Amino acid sequence: MSDILFERRGAAGVVTLNRPDALNAVTHAMVRALAEQLSAWATDPGVTRVVVTAVSGRAFSAGGDLRALYDLGRAGRSDEALQYWRDEYRLNATIKRYRKPYVAIVDGIVLGGGVGVAIHGSHRVAGDGFRFAMPEVGIGFFPDIGATWFLPRLPGETGTWCALTGERIEAADATALGLATHRVPSARLPDLLDGLCGSVPVDALLAAFAEPAGSSPMQPHSPAIDRLFRADRVEDILSALDTAGAATGPAAVFARHAAATIRTKSPTSLKIALAQIRRGKDLDFEACLRTEFRIVSRVVTGHDFYEGIRAVIVDKDQSPRWRPPTLAAVSDADVAGYFAPVAAELDLS
């Protein structure tokens, strides 16, 4: 059985992510297959919309195939690993530019590379199980797949909080923030999929199925996020969190938790992530992807990415040994080097 399934159902081209045992992690072959199929459907007059879903389970997609990328890097085949990201970022751009409605139905965990398959589409439907996160700084990586574009464009400093903590966002908050465009209860998603395969306009159909987002667990913390995550240095953000955490009450508990979480992440990744969020505010979408390719071209030959995957996925000891181990040891010049042009830039033409 293929890891990604394509089916023509009525007016819809239906994509199903089909690696449930691997939480639908996106492989290089899946990236290439989806790009090829989207190209074919783009010029097929019988296909008026694309719908992306996943086999039922815990995850829409828990990200990219990190173990395969780890193995390539450890074998000295970083050029092959880079080709994965080159193709993945091109796919992100294809989805962003797609001229037909592209509806992602997300009813489970959606992380990293899985976010890239969903978030750049015109319509993003959150089911009850929707859980979004960009947890890359915890594995010595950085929020990519266009996060340089969409995280700075979330309200206030929410994107900064997402990037530095990797915390998960549930369906109600995702809808309020614009990460999801519609909130539909899981029990109604099969009927929604059936409806999307018909001829009713996508916007009208989704409006008929959508329900209010519901109460927002994150909303009470928004003022604290906007106040405590606005600095341009990770050290200053941590200082603000520590000061707020010394008080009492729910805001102090939130601040202490955020600070403790950030301190477990790769210092290099934290500084890269904050720099990309700040830079991304002034870049267009394609410039954001080219920026990410410059970063990953350096990360793939470094230490922390492989150490993070070792600790979380390979040995599973959850005790990464970051290099360098402190924020103070990561200079502004070190960070700037990740953003410098590379010999073979990302071509999105």
Write down the catalytic residue from 13, 63, 64, 108: 64
Closest residue by Cα to residue 193 from 95, 127, 272:
127
Q: Does the active-site annotation cover 167? A: no
Query: Where do the domains of the chain lie, and which CATH numbers do they carry?
Result: 1-349 (3.90.226.10)
The owner of tokens 């969409």 is 150
Write down the catalytic residue from 113, 138, 140, 280: 113
Residues 236-273: tens digit of each pLDDT: 999 999 999 999 988 999 999 999 999 999 999 999 99
Q: Does the active-site annotation cover 136? A: yes
Write down the catalytic residue from 65, 88, 107, 136: 136
* pLDDT for the residue numbered 184: 97
* pLDDT for the residue numbered 85: 97
Q: Does the active-site annotation cover 138? A: no
* pLDDT for the residue numbered 173: 95
Write down the catalytic residue from 65, 88, 107, 144: 144
Residues 284-306: tens digit of each pLDDT: 999 999 999 999 999 999 999 99
pLDDT-flagged residues of the chain (< 70): none
Q: Does the active-site annotation cover 334? A: no
CA distance linking residue 330 with residue 328, whole number of Å: 6
Closest residue by Cα to residue 21 from 53, 52, 58:
58
